[in-house]
């Protein structure tokens, strides 16, 4: 598997990333999701992309479980923030409050202390850059 630099960050990512948008946690059971992640790892994929909103947060849980036995330093985990993941007037968008609550939830669901890339899923017109 080829690896490329991610922009100007200096971080190398696999040229093919594994995403789990509509599958893990909703359309594919946990064992099948784990088997797919293992096959991706066997193919040399080290970059995994998810989001807190995918499958109502269950996609992050499934990815975290599938990567549990993998050496954390050997993979790049990317997730996203913006969409609502629960009720409440501050549970959406890119306010500092929502970003902090979202990353804490993502870290817990993914079973890790950090993510390698934290992305905004959409521009938030209500929150100045």
- Residues annotated catalytic, as ranges: 54
CA distances from 62 to 73, 84, 91 (A): 19, 19, 22
Residue 3 CB contacts under 8 Å (≥ 6 apart), including other chains: 12, 13, 14, 15, 46
d(CA 82, CA 105) in angstroms, rounded, equals 13
């Amino acid at each position: 598997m080829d690896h490329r630099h991610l922009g100007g960050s200096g971080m190398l990512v696999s040229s093919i990333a594994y995403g789990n948008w509509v599958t893990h946690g909703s359309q594919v059971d946990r064992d099948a999701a784990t088997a797919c992640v293992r096959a991706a790892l066997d193919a040399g994929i080290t970059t995994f992309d998810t989001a807190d909103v995918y499958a109502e947060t269950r996609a992050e849980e499934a990815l975290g479980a599938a990567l549990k036995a993998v050496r954390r330093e050997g993979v790049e985990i990317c997730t996203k923030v913006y969409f609502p993941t629960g009720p409440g007037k501050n549970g959406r968008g890119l306010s500092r409050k929502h970003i902090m609550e979202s990353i804490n939830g993502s870290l817990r669901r993914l079973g890790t202390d950090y993510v390698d890339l934290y992305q905004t899923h959409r521009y938030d017109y209500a929150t100045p850059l």
